[in-house]
Every structure is written in structure tokens, then in C-alpha cells.
Structure 1
């Protein structure tokens, strides 16, 4: 998130914060203009606006601290809340995360829903009435709390407490490749056990059952969790960067990828027989998880399920489409019976 926050500050948030909380509201005889050479706001006394008077009571760093902060641009309006001011970072991160998760969710889920998801699955007897709408509503209700739970991790990241690094040469290209694979293995294994523990009776009913309401999920079910459930299953992603070094841009790409993967495996696809079927935990495996509950807890790979004796091989005979065809045949038979 530090990359995202830096870019947002550079192109949007610096101006927004300068407009909302200008230096002039807190510094006497200042117009809010920032001098890049002297670090001193030029003196040009003016009558404070009603907005300036209103916000002048909001806590802020002392002017000396603010004026000593890194500059943005010569002559640009400066905010009384500099980039490294904790309240500004908290609010900015919440806004960026809130916007980002909605964009990722609706973009990837919509693409998957229209171009990958088999809409015939919606004819399944266990597909709920208005299910897509309910999945979206559940996701939107969960997002704000999930973001609040996650903010401390993002805040620690942007304040330099993680092990993220910039220069690939610090650890070499070999480690860059290794860390990509290691990130997937590490998070997959931890998510396997978190997910499996959530199926224990003590947790399942109040924590994880809301997600299993969708027996035949659509891509919009990917984030339709109890907020605490969604947060707990995301913990390995955040823990990783505090335990192991990983290149900053690579981590951002992997973070986007895991959100995409969560959507992808919820498309109820039961295509079987592909070469990586026994290695990659794909949509067919996760479809079986939603149908049978106690199998295929993994996120990307099947190895943890194999080790934990919870693996179930996707087979054509387990395809929920067979239930749809059977239900349609039953209806047709009943209709013929009435005609006769």
C-alpha cells in the first residue's frame, strides 16, 4: 500500500488535503503557499475564511514540524497535515483501500461472471433466489469492517515497519523469483489451516457459515464473508512482509493476484482432466468445497489438502451440472405425465 499511497499523495491527495486543511488555517499571516527554498510560508495576511475558522480547532502538527516536512512542489498549497502525519495516513489508507477493494471486486467479479461463469449453474436446485444480489450485498456490508481490521497492517507498512525493499539488487534476481513462489506456498499453507479451523463447530456457525450460504457460488461470492472471516483469511498475506523480505512492487502485484484468484475459484467451474488438476487448487476443487464442506480447503495448491487428508479429486461424476440436468429431466417427465 505504500506505493499506492505515495502515488495517490503525489497526484491527488496532496491537493485534496491542502484544500481541506490548508496551512493558512493554522498559521498566522500565511497564505498557505509553500516556499521550496526557505521552508517559510510567505507573509500575506488575509481575512480567514469561515472554513479556515471552522477547522482551526482540528489537531495538527506544530507549524515548525509541518514546515520541516518534505516539500511537494514549488508554490503548491501545503496542508497542515503532512504526508507522514498519522491521522492523515489512517484516513488516506482507509479511503484508498475502500476504493481499491470495490474496484477489484466489481472489475474482476464482473468479468468472471460474464466471460467465465457458466450461467446454467443458476438453474441448480440449490442456487438461491436473487443470489447474485445477496452475494454483492453481503460483500459490500463486509468491506468497511474488513478494511478497519486491516488498517494497522497497512499503516505499519507505509510507516516503514515491514521488510519490503525497493532495489532488486539488495537480494538478487534469484531471491526475487524464489520469494514469489515462497509467498504463494507460505500463504497457501497458513490459509489452509485457518480455513480448516474455521470449519470446527466452535467457529463455523457464527464465523464461516455465512460464506457457505452460497452452495453454488458465483464470482460475486468471492468476498461475501463475515467481516472477521474475510480478515482472518487475509492475515497470511500481511504477515509475510513482516517476516520475510520481498520486493515492494512484486508484493503489490501478488496482492492483486490473490484477490483475482479468490474471485476466479468461485466461478463453479467443474472442468476436469487438465494437466495441473492434481497440483493447482482451481475452481473445480473449490466448487467441491462449497458442496461438500470438508474437502479442498487450500487456496492455490492441493498439497496441503493431501497432507491433511482433506483432498477430493474433481471428477465429472461430481459436476453439479448433473443435478441441473436431472432436475430438468424430472420436470419434463412430470410435464409429460400431466399431458397424458
Structure 2
């Protein structure tokens, strides 16, 4: 992140803070000022995530998403815009809560490094695999705990408003929910070393992946990869498939549910018979889930 901030300070923020200082007749905030770094990080992170979210989800919706899914009986009226509004409300708060992690990286408290050869070139690939497995494991447990009745209504229930998702559902959640599930991505580089460019690339990847598992395009019936089909099962039936990238931890901890054949087959999943059956299953399950949630939260 220091590479990004160096570039932004040189070409954007130095001029902005100099002008602000001239207007207020004060000295410009130095680059190492925590206040300046925090303000700059908010502007950069917020602009990045908003552009990435609307850009990636927008392209996915335009070119990939099966819009026939919007005819599903559990698709809400105006849902796409509700998802966008929900995400727009959450992202500023998530950005503020993210800043301390990035400040830690800028001030050398993380294990992010610059020299490509420091741990050997093979380790670049090893660290990427470690990042995926570590974050997948952590997010699995954060996500699963968010489904506990004591937590679900206060935090995660909002995201499950989108039973049949569009790509815009990827970031449409309660800000605490979004932040909790992002913590493993920041924590990883405080636990094991990672090259700064590998880390930046993976951070872009996880945002794209979050959109992909909500886009409804089931490109492969892969039993290991937690793709859109597996995550669709999670949104339809709630207490299954908590993983983010793989099905490994769902299989290990008995929360795996294999997607049915009609989820992969576009013509079958758009069948009114299939969709009505899914809606009936959901309507049958919800009273029990709501009762458990209410009882345990009292």
C-alpha cells in the first residue's frame, strides 16, 4: 500500500494539501502525519471500492448475469437498486474501520515486503496459496458464527434479504458484517510474509470473487471450488456452504450441501416449477429459522 500512497501523494494529495493549507493559512500536513494519512486513505480506499464494486458488478450484470432470475418468486421488486443502496450505505463505515489495518502496514507493523527474492520466487506462489486457505478458513468461521441466532438478526440477516441475488448483492450487507468478513484479508499479512504486489493483486481478486459468487453464472460443476452454484445454495437454504473460495471447510465441518442439477442447468433453473418449489422450500424453512433466532436472542 505504501507504493500506492507514494504515487497518490506525489501526483494528487501533495497538491490538495498544499491548496488546503493556502486557503486556511496553515502549514501543509506532512506526509507522515497520521491525520493526513487517515484522510488520504479514506479517500483512496472509498473511491477504489466504490469504483471496483460498481464497475465489476455492473459489467457482470450487463454481460454475465442471467436476468431471467429476476422472474423468480423470491426476487424482490426493485431488488437490484435496493442492493446498490444497501452497499452504498455500508461502504463508508467499512472504509473507516479498515483504515487502522492499512496504517499498520504503512508504518511497518505488517509482514508485507518489497524485494521479490527475499523469500525466494517459489514462496510468491506459496504465499498466495496460504492467503487463500487462511482467509477461506477464517471467513468460514466468521460467516458460520454470523448465522448463530444471537448474531444473525443483528448483523448478517440483511445480506440474506437477497435470496435470489444479482452481482450487486456482493457488497450489500450490514457494515459490521462486511467488515468482519474482511478482517482475515488484512490479518493475513500480519501473520505471514507477502510481497506487496502479490498482496495488492490478491486484494483485487477477492473483490472480483465476491461478485462472481453472486452473479448466478455457474460456469463449472467443481466439487472443490466454492463458486456461484454453491453460494446460491447458501442464499436459498441459509445454513450451508459458508466457505468463500473452497468447499474444504464446509466438508470438514459438516455444512456442505451439493448444488442440485437444476442450479447448473440454465433452462431448468429458470423453470417455473423449479423456482416455485424453491420458494416453497424457503417459505417452509423460514418460520423455523425465525423461531430459533427469536428464542435464542431473548
Number of residue-to-residue matches in the alignment: 275
Q: Distance in 1 between matches of 2:267 and 2:173?
A: 25
Q: Distance in 1 between matches of 2:241 and 2:7?
A: 39
2:171 aligns to what SS in structure 1? coil
1:149 to 97, 102, 105: 97
In the other structure, the counterpart of 1:16 is 16
| TM-score where L is the length of structure 1 | 0.77
Question: Aligned ranges for residues 72-111 of structure 1 at < 5 Å?
Answer: 80-111=28-59
Conserved? CA contact 1:270–1:314, under 8 Å:
no
In the other structure, the counterpart of 1:288 is 233
Give the CA deviation at 1:157: 1.0
- Distance change >3 Å, CA 258–CA 328, structure 1 → 2: closer
Give the CA deviation at 1:161: 1.3
In the other structure, the counterpart of 1:316 is 261
Q: Distance in 2 between matches of 1:282 and 1:315?
A: 14
Q: Distance in 2 between matches of 1:97 and 1:234?
A: 13
Structure 1 gaps of 5+ residues are 23-50, 61-79, 331-340
1:210 aligns to what SS in structure 2? helix
- Structure with more relative contact order (C-alpha pairs < 8 Å, separation 6 or more): 2
Structure 2 gaps of 5+ residues are 277-298
Larger Rg: 1
- Distance change >3 Å, CA 312–CA 12, structure 1 → 2: same
Q: Distance in 2 between matches of 1:134 and 1:329?
A: 22
| TM-score where L is the length of structure 2 | 0.88
Conserved? CA contact 2:72–2:275, under 8 Å:
no
RMSD of aligned Cα (Å): 1.9
2:79 to 131, 134, 148: 131
Question: Aligned ranges for residues 177-326 of structure 1 at < 5 Å?
Answer: 177-270=125-218, 274=221, 277-318=222-263, 322=268, 324-326=270-272
Q: Distance in 2 between matches of 1:252 and 1:318?
A: 33
Conserved? CA contact 1:265–1:286, under 8 Å:
yes
Q: Distance in 2 between matches of 1:239 and 1:185?
A: 13
Which segment is superposed worse, 7-16 or 288-297? Answer: 7-16
Flag as ranges the 4+ runs of structure 1 deviating above 6 A.
none
Give the CA deviation at 1:270: 4.1
Give the CA deviation at 1:324: 4.4
